[in-house]
Amino acid sequence: MALKVLVVDDSGFFRRRVTDIINADANLEVIGVAENGLQAIELNESLKPDVITMDYEMPVMDGITAVRKIMASRPVPVLMFSSLTFEGARVTLDALDAGAVDFLPKNFDAIARNSASIRKLLAEKIQAVARGSLKANAKAVQPAPTRVTQTPSGSSADEGPREKLRGIELVVIGTSTGGPAALQKIFKTLPSNFNKPIVIVQHMPASFTSAFAERLNNLSGLTVKEAQEGDVLRPGHVYVAPGGKQLIVDRRQGGSVHILDSDERVSYRPSVDIALASAAKHYGSKALGVVLTGMGADGREGARLLKQAGGHLWAQDEASCVIYGMPMAVVNAGLVDSVVSLDQVSERLSKDI
């Protein structure tokens, strides 16, 4: 059965193009369109779509207000369309806070061309968010699942008493879809006296990562910034990999960050694989990788190198993930030392290392 989609945008041209693109996929069907947030709320109740695509700037009611009201009444995965500007990044982050699952750049030229790449990306995003955790995005309060750890084969077992990870000098966190909300939850509660440097690799466009770093810095007791070439890795500081680039770490001379132009053949810019591979090379057993919610398998090969170098790896559990893709990839590869609920990540970081 095709996934039912509600398209919300005040531009008639954009609604028509997005509708045509979605309906071209046999697995998707547009069952309604809305011109503003108020109509979206009403049609969400009457048509009961599986997914909503949502614009931000609309008359009568904007997209963020609509998302909040939808999550409070009939929660459904929402995919936002966003402009690739600093202000657009802030608005998109607000929408993700309100409960939207993911976003796509609002590119009129690309939509007008109706290219194969746009069709593929939009279809993949819609199907991915449809599989997402509505409970997490509706801000529902759920009891924390029992924490587990992985045996070498990748099977899970009751965790029991934990041995602290001694000598960790660097934490690398990788994430994609669902990551902004997950990271905000972690850094709101991570103690201000946490004394290890943290590198974040979040799949985001170039114009988004500085706004995201600013947001994390405002809510965290730690110092958070968008990483720049030559940054020294300082205890209690957090470095967000810039969008469109690649970040690597170097332990020499006290530890530093290097920012590189990305090869177009690399799918993710920034890439969790590349950051973890550099941590494996320079930090080895003194590095901890944490793979959070996200589509795809970015991080699996970097995690493999990290484990071969004696490093440590945690993965977010399925129950608390928006998209159980990246964590599942490392769990199924047998690379994970511990599977951790999102609610427990900051506690584990502060107490176990």
| Contact status, residue 126 vs residue 28, Cβ threshold 8 Å | yes
Q: How confident is the model at residue 165 (pLDDT cuts 50, 70, 90)?
A: confident
Residue tagged active-site, from 9, 82, 133, 176: 176
Closest to 297 in 3D by CA, of 334, 271, 321: 271
Same domain, 198 and 322: yes
The share of the chain scoring above pLDDT 90, in percent, equals 76
Which CATH number covers residue 257? 3.40.50.180
Q: How confident is the model at residue 16 (pLDDT cuts 50, 70, 90)?
A: very high
Same domain, 199 and 112: no
Residue 49 lies in a domain: yes
Domain boundary among 74, 109, 137: 137
- Looking at the structure of the chain, the number of domains it has is 2
pLDDT at 93 over 80: yes
Distance of CA 115 to the CA centre of its chain: 26
Residue tagged active-site, from 9, 62, 203, 317: 203
| Contact status, residue 46 vs residue 73, Cβ threshold 8 Å | no
Same domain, 181 and 120: no
Domain span at 153: 148-352
pTM over 0.75: yes
pLDDT at 228 over 90: yes
Distance CA 321, CA 148 (A): 15
Residue 113: predicted pLDDT: 67
Residue 55: predicted pLDDT: 95
Residue 109: predicted pLDDT: 66
Same domain, 190 and 242: yes
Residue 128 corresponds to which tokens in the numbers above? 């991915």
- Residue carrying structure tokens 């994970």: 336
Mean per-residue pLDDT for 280-299? 97
Q: Is position 298 annotated as part of the catalytic site?
A: yes
Buried b (16+ CB within 10 A) or exposed e, 157-176: eeeeeeeebeebbbbbbbbb
Looking at residue 72, its amino acid is A
Residue 134: predicted pLDDT: 43
Residue 56 lies in a domain: yes
Distance CA 293, CA 179 (A): 6
Residue tagged active-site, from 62, 94, 298, 337: 298
Same domain, 130 and 163: no
Residue 143 lies in a domain: no
Same domain, 105 and 187: no
- Residue carrying structure tokens 């750049």: 105
The share of the chain scoring above pLDDT 70, in percent, equals 88
Residue 48: predicted pLDDT: 97
Distance CA 222, CA 237 (A): 6
Which CATH number covers residue 86? 3.40.50.2300
